[in-house]
Structure 1
């Protein structure tokens, strides 16, 4: 995950915390074996469909049915080519998902399988999923999981379902909250300014829920996880929506989290 996205103004936070162990991953129940039905066919996609990008939200997609779920997600996918994304298995094509967004290779988590199709978390829009047929992409395993508890101001990192680190962080204020629900690591970007501790930020697929509450320069940005040099921020709800991490914690995440890693924001 070495590709860098040009900096989009974001706000983030950090601080050391007690040892991990508050969260453990909950595995989704295994499906009972049965004869696989024939996949529902995919309608041809019009050439003028909008293209999912960093700046514009995708429209017409269904809500994530379980945004509060902490079940670990072990499967992701990377498009081999630009793919049409549908609003249901065999449903209506709504947008194109490219192989990369702003120079970052796209890896999206798979959250459901049905009728020969897979549901993915979408970037640049919150708590929405899209559906893809079973062709045109390659699987990518996802080992890491991040849980951000807004009430406790605590970020926990799990690998293969086991906690490997936990830190007290800063999160969004009541006016500019950190978006709730499941999202994922879209990629990483450079930062500018001493306050970010000289470390890259992890840009998430989530965007501000209320863009009008932010300064104009921040309204088109994404939520991110980044380092923060002012330790007085940790344990507080004061950011523009980003998660501010202690520098030493941010280094750990940058060393281990891959593109597509799922981030759960709960309260």
Structure 2
């Protein structure tokens, strides 16, 4: 299920629900809900000091515009069992414009605000692809910078704004994801032919620590296990992740 860059190209990732093992490959980590949003305004959803999130309270329909055509239908939980929390880009009346893994990287969907508990987080992640560096920010201020492996030539990490969707622990020894994974809403659009895994992007640990700081993956961001754990302690689900050139 997890993505195109989340392992070595010769290793297909373990997938939840396969017959390979009786227990799931990934276990979601309980994450605290983001504090309630302080404002109903559209500006609050875009503030660099406060990023709005929407934790679904029921299944929802994403639409092309308020009341428009259906783009996707979402359940209250992700495919990995986490509460479904979406990053909110803007708000218009009783509608939210959100980031979702069910949509293309550059697409956004509209959902009714009444079908979610709104929260707000000061935390955000900013990845500089050319510098191979991830910066964790709180209220716009730099808190921590750490090296990451990014997509190699031919399978570069896609640029854009994403959101965290799941924080997972791995269950299988020798996993190409290392100890843990922060799944993102984005997708790798340049899949390697014959790749047996999915297309979802993630920030994850790796047994190939010598690849960190290089353009070495199939699209995901590899980091040291201690750094991924640090991010997981701080980032709520729905927190924004920006990848720039």
TM-score, length of structure 1 as denominator length: 0.69
Deviations 1:171-208 (A, max 9, x none): 00121111210111110233344475841111111111
Could you say if the C-alpha distance between residues 231 and 93 of structure 1 is closer, same or farther in structure 2, counting changes exceeding 3 Å? Answer: closer
Paired residues, what number? Answer: 208
Would the aligned equivalents of 1:7 and 1:189 in 2 still touch at CA under 8 Å?
Answer: no
User: What is residue 35 of structure 2 aligned with on the other side?
Assistant: none
Determine helix, strand or coil for the equivalent of 1:81: coil
Determine helix, strand or coil for the equivalent of 1:156: strand
Determine helix, strand or coil for the equivalent of 1:206: strand
Bigger shift: 179-188 or 84-93? 84-93
Instruction: Measure how far apart 1:115 and its partner are.
Output: 4.4
Report whether the alignment pairs 1:233 with 2:211. Answer: yes
Deviations 1:95-154 (A, max 9, x none): 212111111211101101224421001114312100112322110222210001001100
Would the aligned equivalents of 2:178 and 2:204 in 1 still touch at CA under 8 Å?
Answer: no
Q: Unmatched 5+ residue regions in structure 1?
A: 1-5, 14-29, 33-68
Aligned partner of 2:6 among 3, 11, 16: 11
Would the aligned equivalents of 2:3 and 2:187 in 1 still touch at CA under 8 Å?
Answer: no
Would the aligned equivalents of 2:127 and 2:241 in 1 still touch at CA under 8 Å?
Answer: yes
Q: Unmatched 5+ residue regions in structure 2?
A: 9-40
Would the aligned equivalents of 2:64 and 2:70 in 1 still touch at CA under 8 Å?
Answer: yes
After superposition, residues 156-235 of structure 1 pair within 5 angstroms as 156-191=135-170, 192-194=172-174, 198-211=178-191, 213-218=192-197, 220-235=198-213
Instruction: Give the structure with higher Rg (CA).
Output: 1
Could you say if the C-alpha distance between residues 121 and 72 of structure 1 is closer, same or farther in structure 2, counting changes exceeding 3 Å? Answer: farther
Instruction: Measure how far apart 1:214 and its partner are.
Output: 4.9
Partners of 1:234 and 1:258 lie apart in 2 by: 24
Determine helix, strand or coil for the equivalent of 1:104: coil
Could you say if the C-alpha distance between residues 205 and 82 of structure 1 is closer, same or farther in structure 2, counting changes exceeding 3 Å? Answer: same
Determine helix, strand or coil for the equivalent of 2:186: coil
Determine helix, strand or coil for the equivalent of 1:205: strand
Instruction: Measure how far apart 1:31 and its partner are.
Output: 7.0
Instruction: Measure how far apart 1:232 and its partner are.
Output: 2.5
TM-score, length of structure 2 as denominator length: 0.75
Determine helix, strand or coil for the equivalent of 1:135: helix
Determine helix, strand or coil for the equivalent of 1:99: coil
Instruction: Measure how far apart 1:169 and its partner are.
Output: 1.1
Could you say if the C-alpha distance between residues 31 and 226 of structure 1 is closer, same or farther in structure 2, counting changes exceeding 3 Å? Answer: closer
Would the aligned equivalents of 2:4 and 2:201 in 1 still touch at CA under 8 Å?
Answer: no
Determine helix, strand or coil for the equivalent of 1:78: strand
Partners of 1:12 and 1:169 lie apart in 2 by: 14
Determine helix, strand or coil for the equivalent of 2:105: coil
Bigger shift: 185-194 or 120-129? 185-194
